[in-house]
Amino acid sequence: MLPLPAFAFVDLETTGTHAGADRITEIGIVRVDDVDGVVRVREWQSLVDPGVPIPPAIQVLTGITDAMVARAPSFPAVARDVLDLLRDCVFVAHNARFDYGFLKHAFARLDVAYSARVLCTVRLSRRLFPDADGGHGLDAVIARHALAVSERHRALGDARAIWSFVDGLYRSEPAERVHAAVRGILKVPSLPPQLPADAIDALPEAPGVYLFYGDNPLPLYIGKSVNLRERVGAHFSSDWRSETDLRLSQEIRRIEHERTAGELGALLREAVLVKALMPAHNRALRRKEDAGIATLVDGLPAFMPADTIDARDLDAAYGPFASRASFRTTLRALAREHRLCERRLRLERGAGACFARQLHRCNGVCVGEEPAHTHDQRLIAALAPLAIPRWPLDGPACVRECASDAERVDVHVFRDWHWIGTARDEGELQELATATSRASFDLDVTRLLIRRYRAGTLTLLPLVR
Ligand SMILES: [Zn+2]
């Protein structure tokens, strides 16, 4: 559930707001470990004798009095336990700079160097709910998410509140969205040093494509996202780096981006740019030329690579598939499920009884026990869910995408599940309506269109010339 294996939700009560001059009076920690999907929660708290009087106003706010801390251990006496609880995990606090700063100073006075990756739940709340009324203070967050709070303004009570805030996010929001926000916040300190400090913040939290440049005029890498800032940030998040991201971090010198109205526009623009500019790091990552569909040849499915596909082929086709290998894997799974013959499907060489027949898992077309046409009819039925739907219109159709701020509208024109172009005004649209050329088959584009069409979320408007 959690995007990283261990978190410590921390809250401190103190004698004031200056990490250097003021002292800690109470520490509350909720340590959460995710071990193979099982979440283990440990709680720890202690009053701490600050060694100085607590200002009366602070005593009123927290309910922690001089008398209460007089018999409590000093910070050095609990430092060992605290350090053990914070070991190897992300430090989480509400307005984390405050709590993290106090603990760092307290440890520094003991000559202990403490550092951790820090997740601030104020920033997390702001990122996920930018338009929330009432701000992102702990009281507002507690009220907004109806969090149960045992003891507000006591360290463990507040630490529990921020843990239940984060825990609850995974119930109320899509996990990917929470992960992305957490990653986005954690990445901040690890931006490649050669990039300007605001390189990420300068990106919009909106759909589009981004281009990473090194020293050469051609880009190193092109990507797309529905949230440019989060996606680009994720490339440089220290905990999520792939080999490619590591190399990109070393070579990158600047970032450019283009906004699109929506996800489809970003996908289309990325496909065009990657094809035209062939960035070095994209070629290693995606092999779109491997993609294809399957058509029936003599009644049996055969793989057809992307570059040989013509629009008419999609009328009686299956897929799309990422590669010939994935087509064969799919076919093999169907054979197993429906007792089809892998030899007849050309998945297995040789003659006579197929391997599955020997295990009584093939109905026996290979040994003449099932008529070929019966087998092939069962095959067609088994393939039916993979059939590419008929293009529902006579000619080209548009899909309108509107940016959430409504400032940008893209009109994408398609025909036969192929993309013809994208218009941003009436003139461009008329040009596309009469265009005869078409972009070549693109796996991701066709797949996204068909997925949305099957889900009933694709609105195709006929394009009138
Ligand atoms: Zn067989």
- The CATH number assigned to the domain holding 227 equals 3.40.1440.10
Separation of 98 CA from ligand 1 center, angstroms?
A: 69
Give residue 131's pLDDT: 87
Separation of 372 CA from ligand 1 center, angstroms?
A: 11
More confident position, 433 or 189: 433
Phi and psi based region of residue 134 (left: phi greater than 0; alpha: psi -120 to 50; beta: remaining): left
Output the average pLDDT for the chain: 87
Separation of 383 CA from ligand 1 center, angstroms?
A: 18
Separation of 367 CA from ligand 1 center, angstroms?
A: 7
Q: What is the mean pLDDT of residues 375-402?
A: 91
Q: What is the mean pLDDT of residues 29-33?
A: 94
Q: Are residues 404 and 357 in the same domain?
A: no
Separation of 315 CA from ligand 1 center, angstroms?
A: 29
Separation of 335 CA from ligand 1 center, angstroms?
A: 10
Confidence label for 438 from pLDDT (cuts 50, 70 and 90): low
Give residue 240's pLDDT: 47
Q: Are residues 234 and 269 in the same domain?
A: yes
Separation of 332 CA from ligand 1 center, angstroms?
A: 12
More confident position, 162 or 6: 162
Q: Are residues 341 and 419 in the same domain?
A: no
Q: What is the mean pLDDT of residues 180-198?
A: 73
Q: What is the mean pLDDT of residues 247-252?
A: 83
Separation of 306 CA from ligand 1 center, angstroms?
A: 30
Looking at 235, 266, 286, the residue that finishes a domain is 286
Separation of 331 CA from ligand 1 center, angstroms?
A: 14
Separation of 186 CA from ligand 1 center, angstroms?
A: 54
Separation of 340 CA from ligand 1 center, angstroms?
A: 7
Residue 232 placed within a domain: yes
Give residue 276's pLDDT: 84
Q: Are residues 297 and 154 in the same domain?
A: no
Looking at 322, 355, 386, the residue that finishes a domain is 386
Separation of 29 CA from ligand 1 center, angstroms?
A: 62
Separation in Å, CA 308 to CA 131, 297, 311 = 49, 15, 10
Give CA–CA dist 273/256, Å, rounded: 13
Tally the domains of the chain: 4
Separation of 329 CA from ligand 1 center, angstroms?
A: 17
What percentage of the chain carries pLDDT values higher than 90? 43
Residue 392 placed within a domain: no
Separation of 379 CA from ligand 1 center, angstroms?
A: 13
Residue 358 tokens, joined: 């020997």
Q: Are residues 29 and 121 in the same domain?
A: yes
Give CA–CA dist 93/307, Å, rounded: 53
The residue range of the domain holding 439 is 397-462
Q: Are residues 275 and 298 in the same domain?
A: no
Separation of 385 CA from ligand 1 center, angstroms?
A: 23
Separation of 351 CA from ligand 1 center, angstroms?
A: 10
Phi, psi dihedral angles at 72 (to 5 degrees)? -80, 160
Separation of 298 CA from ligand 1 center, angstroms?
A: 18
Residue 264 tokens, joined: 């489809």
431 C-beta neighbours (distance < 10 Å), count: 12
Confidence label for 368 from pLDDT (cuts 50, 70 and 90): very high
Mean pLDDT lowest for which of 14-18, 87-91, 156-160, 235-239?
A: 235-239
Q: Are residues 112 and 161 in the same domain?
A: yes
Separation of 323 CA from ligand 1 center, angstroms?
A: 25
pLDDT at 239 over 90: no
Residue 23 placed within a domain: yes
Residue 376 placed within a domain: yes
Alpha helices per DSSP H over 299-423: 324-338, 355-358, 372-383
* CA quadruple 446, 285, 225, 269: dihedral, nearest 10: -50
pLDDT at 103 over 70: yes
What percentage of the chain carries pLDDT values higher than 70? 93
Give CA–CA dist 240/7, Å, rounded: 16
Q: Are residues 49 and 134 in the same domain?
A: yes
pLDDT at 413 over 50: yes
Convert the pLDDT of each residue in 115-150 to its tens digit.
Answer: 888 899 999 999 999 888 888 999 999 999 988 888
Q: What is the mean pLDDT of residues 418-427?
A: 86
pLDDT at 439 over 70: no
Give residue 50's pLDDT: 95
Separation of 295 CA from ligand 1 center, angstroms?
A: 21
Q: What CATH number should be reported for the domain holding residue 150?
A: 3.30.420.10
Separation of 308 CA from ligand 1 center, angstroms?
A: 31
Q: Are residues 219 and 88 in the same domain?
A: no
Q: Are residues 28 and 158 in the same domain?
A: yes
Residue 186 tokens, joined: 């954690």
Separation of 352 CA from ligand 1 center, angstroms?
A: 8
Cα four-point dihedral sign 449, 439, 312, 348: negative
DSSP string, 438-454: -PPP-HHHHHHHHHHHH
Q: Are residues 157 and 87 in the same domain?
A: yes
Q: What is the mean pLDDT of residues 56-80?
A: 92
pLDDT at 1 over 60: no
Separation of 79 CA from ligand 1 center, angstroms?
A: 70
Q: Are residues 309 and 278 in the same domain?
A: no
Looking at 271, 286, 301, the residue that finishes a domain is 286
Query: Is 418 in contact with 293 (CB distance < 8 Å)?
Result: no
Separation of 339 CA from ligand 1 center, angstroms?
A: 8
